[in-house]
Amino acid sequence: MTLFEDMGALFVDTFGDGRSFTIETSAGPKTVNGIYRSADTITLPDGDFEGIVTDVPTLRVAREDAAGIADGDTVTIDSTVYAVRAPMDDGRAMVTFRLDET
């Protein structure tokens, strides 16, 4: 057992904004508390390279709440429907899902 293994709910409560999210899974709706981060777009300063760096939106949930959430499940956040993609366990009680707008 790692130091952080049972602290997922504490991380969500501390770093989240108190929101819960309902994910449509193959077994039916599942409501979880989580930390949503929207995509950020940054324009790089002038110089040798000009461009835009885009980050994808993510939803982080406690590992114990991630059970039953699979690639392709959907979640609606702020009127936008996202497909849940690429679950990544961070090894510290949290699972991060990349969100793709459908």
For residues 83 and 4, the model is more confident at: 83
Amino acid at 41: T
Count Cα atoms within 13 angstroms, Cβ side, for 62.
Answer: 19
pLDDT recorded at residue 99: 95
In the block, residue with structure tokens 């949503």 = 36
pLDDT of the residue at 5: 60
Q: Per CATH, which fold does 8-101 belong to?
A: Thrombin, subunit H (2.40.10)
pLDDT tens by residue, 33-92? 999 988 875 556 655 555 555 578 999 999 999 999 999 999 999 999 999 998 999 888
Judged against a pLDDT cut of 70, whether residue 95 lies above it is answered with: yes
17 CB burial (10 A radius; 0-12, 13-18, 19+): exposed
What residues does each domain of the chain span? Answer: 8-101
